[in-house]
A and B are shown apart, each in its own frame.
Chain A
Amino acid sequence: MRLVLCAVYIFIGALVFAIPNMTRRELLFAVPVPPDFRESGAGRNAISTFRATIAAAVLAGVCALLLSPARLLGATMVAVWIAIFLTGGISFYWQNRRLAPAAVQYTRPREAELTVAPEELPRFAWLAAGPFVILAAAARWLYLNWDRIPARFPTHWGPSGQPDHWVERTTKAVYGPLFFGAELCAWFMIMALAGWFGSRRSRSRSVMLGGMMAAEYLVGLLFALIAVQPLLGIPIWVIALAPMAILIPLVVVLINKMSESGTPLDPTPNECWKGAIIYYNPNDAALFVEKRDGMGYTLNFANSWSWVLLLGLALVIASAPFVVK
């Protein structure tokens, strides 16, 4: 189990390590810079400092995990998670502040097509129903095999991979994960639609829609696996690593597609980016804009609908204790 955890941490660390490559050439640590800035001394120095910090944090985390006594393994696991994410966030922000004086303001005329043609979703959008079908199929299968589900089954595993919490076979315990997964999938689907209709027309908009739908599939499959685990006895490490099987290709495909889209950088005003990652522009009607800290889109927090979407997520999370046993 320790080795699985180490693999997960190294994977997450590798993703954080690759952050400077996950943006357009006009952006470095969320700072708009000339496209050739990365090759300059300041650009190279910022990237190498960031990567050295991340590598040190991941290495220290892996060592701590391997050397930690068994009784402290749970606490170490959580501490390493927090340390990697904090180090990544602080290091990113630090480089952002260092490069801020080199920032350039990209300005570009904006165009709007005077058409009232309905904004049709891409053909692949119907696939957004897929995760609900998966969850429904899992529910049906559990229903048909109700008697085969153990009367008492584990729902939580400790850091050693051994179960440490069990529940009785009840409707809530069996179907709860599926219901919660459906709630999350619905939220992702709403986000995907809001992203499509609330952002400017561009080729990268389809990529964003596809990315959100892939995230929806990831959640749907994960909760379907969790729900059928008592029946199939799937090893917990399989469930822990299954999301990676979707996440790795997803990240690679998204980066490639975004790079291929060839759309110019959205010239959002520099002063509207707070803390490098939060976009707050009351003078921009867009609900979603292109991110500066990576590939993809982010919310315009000055648009009140962004708070409605976040409230939706908060409600879904808050419902967990009532839905999942």
Chain B
Amino acid sequence: MAQNPRIRIDPASGVSVVRQIADSLRVLLVEGQLVPGTALPSVRRLATELGVHFNTAAEAYRQMAAEGWLDLKHGRRAVVVPRVVPAVRNGAWTEDFRNRLRGMVAQMRSRGISAASIATELRAMAKVVKKS
């Protein structure tokens, strides 16, 4: 039986929990592990499992709804909806993307992770991105 997708947060990471939940959901949505029509767990269940406040989980859902990924109707579960991909001018995004990536690579290297390991990970990730 296929396993349900999971999200993971690290309370000790220093990154806000709302952002961690939203980022994890976005990864699953972009990679197609969560497809339109999929219902997500209730705010209560998600918050209980992650050991966070209800409002934290609710805020993460609201952020994803604001980005157009989720439909949040009062009294109903959050449901993944088809999202219209916004048009982006070619090249306008690359500088921002490169900067973020460089920042993340620098962060990993400062933790002692070798450049070769990071490069291997990036190549593996590039394969996943091409497929999606």
How many residues of B are in contact with the other chain, CB < 8 A? 30
Contacts of A119 in B (CB 8 A): 45
Interface of chain A residues 119 through 154 with chain B (CB within 8 A): 119
Interface centre among A198, A267, A285, A287 (most CB of B within 10 A): A285
> Judging by beta carbons under 8 Å apart, are A283 and B52 in contact?
yes
- Closest chain B CB from A301 CB (angstroms): 15
Q: Which of A107, A201, A285 contacts B44 (CB 8 A)?
A: A285
Number of interface residues of A (CB under 8 A): 24
Q: In the complex where A116-B39, A285-B48 touch, is A110 in contact with B54 (Cβ < 8 A)?
A: no
Residues in B21-47 with C-beta less than 8 Å from chain A: 28, 34, 38-42, 44-47
**One of B4-12, B81-89, B123-131 at the interface:** B4-12
Residue of B nearest to A283 (CB): B53
CA distance A91 to B38 in the complex (A): 53
Known interface pairs A268-B51, A284-B51. Does A114 touch B9 (Cβ–Cβ under 8 Å)? no
B40 near A284: Cβ-Cβ < 8 Å: no
Contacts of A282 in B (CB 8 A): 53
CA distance A114 to B35 in the complex (A): 12
Instruction: Please tell me if the beta carbons of B77 and A110 are within 8 angstroms of each other in the complex.
Output: no
- Residues in A whose Cβ lies below 8 Å from that of B11: 107, 109-110, 267
How many angstroms between the C-alpha atoms of A267 and B41 in the bound complex? Answer: 22
- CB of B49 within 8 Å of the partner chain: yes
- Contact residue among A113, A268, A287 (Cβ-Cβ distance under 8 Å from B49): A113
Residues of chain B within 8 A (CB-CB) of A19 are none
In the bound complex, CA of A266 to CA of B11 (Å): 13
Inside 8 A of A111's CB, which chain B residues have their CB? 6-8, 49
- Closest-by-CB residue of A relative to B28 is A114
CB contacts (< 8 Å) of B57 on chain A: these are 285
B9–A286 contact, CB under 8 A? no
Does the CB pair A115–B41 fall under 8 Å? yes
Query: Does A97 sit within 8 A of B, measured CB to CB?
Result: no
Known: A116-B39, A285-B57. A110 touches B49 (CB 8 A): yes
CB <8 Å contact, A114 and B50: no
A287 CA to B51 CA in the complex, in Å? 10
Does B56 have its Cβ within 8 Å of any Cβ on chain A? Answer: yes
User: Is A109 touching B9 in the complex (CB atoms < 8 A)?
Assistant: yes
- Min distance, Cβ B65 to any Cβ of chain A, angstroms: 16
Binding site for A on B (CB under 8 A): 4-12, 28, 34, 38-42, 44-54, 56-57, 77
Q: 10 tightest A-B contacts by CB? A: A285-B47, A112-B49, A107-B12, A109-B10, A115-B4, A116-B39, A285-B48, A283-B53, A111-B8, A286-B48
Can you list 26 A-B pairs with a CB-CB distance of less than 8 A?
A109-B9, A109-B10, A110-B9, A111-B7, A111-B49, A112-B6, A112-B41, A112-B49, A112-B50, A114-B4, A114-B28, A114-B34, A114-B38, A114-B40, A116-B39, A116-B40, A116-B77, A119-B45, A199-B48, A266-B51, A267-B11, A283-B52, A284-B51, A284-B52, A284-B53, A285-B54
